[in-house]
């Protein structure tokens, strides 16, 4: 199957700072990628759809100014958590692929202190 990587795997930042998470498709081109957030012992919740060369589409309730998404190439999407707060601490996962077959990255554990 296809491979999706994420970087970093873990990050700790101070409240008020911004953090960038990268999602890369290693062996395929992804015009669309998806970003999910997962809290402990809970399911994945879709945050936004990242579209190469155009604006991301955000799910209801997700602040687009807080979670900035950039999909500048066919193999890279980035999620920037701006002015992070402790409640933003979570496991962030991206996916890419095609209809009926999505491949997930290994996730990024964000801890905001």
Partner 1 sequence: TQLLEQSPQFLSIQEGENLTVYCNSSSVFSSLQWYRQEPGEGPVLLVTVVTGGEVKKLKRLTFQFGDARKDSSLHITAAQTGDTGLYLCAPRLSNAGGTSYGKLTFGQGTILTVHP
Per CB under 8 A, residues contacting partner 1 are: 1, 4, 32, 34, 41-46, 49, 91, 93, 95-107, 109
Tokens of 36: 């999910």
The candidate with the shortest Cα–Cα distance to 84, out of 27, 18, 25, is 18
- Residue closer to partner 1 by CB (options 15, 42) is 42
- Residue closer to partner 1 by CB (options 19, 96) is 96
Q: What are phi and psi of 90, to 5 degrees?
A: -175, 180
Q: Considering the complex, what minimum distance in angstroms separates the CB of residue 9 from partner 1? A: 8
Pairing verdict, β 90-98 and 76-81? unpaired
- Residue closer to partner 1 by CB (options 24, 96) is 96
């Amino acid at each position: 199957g296809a491979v999706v990587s994420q970087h970093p795997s873990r990050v700790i930042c101070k409240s008020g700072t911004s953090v960038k998470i990268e999602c890369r498709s290693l062996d395929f081109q992804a015009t669309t990628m998806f970003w999910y957030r997962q809290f402990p012992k809970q399911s994945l919740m879709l945050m936004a759809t990242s579209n190469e060369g155009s604006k991301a589409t955000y799910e209801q309730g997700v602040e687009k100014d807080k979670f900035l998404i950039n999909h500048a190439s066919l193999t890279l999407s980035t999620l920037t958590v701006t002015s992070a707060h402790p409640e933003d601490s979570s496991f962030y996962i991206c996916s890419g692929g095609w209809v009926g077959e999505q491949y997930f990255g290994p996730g990024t554990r964000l801890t905001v202190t």
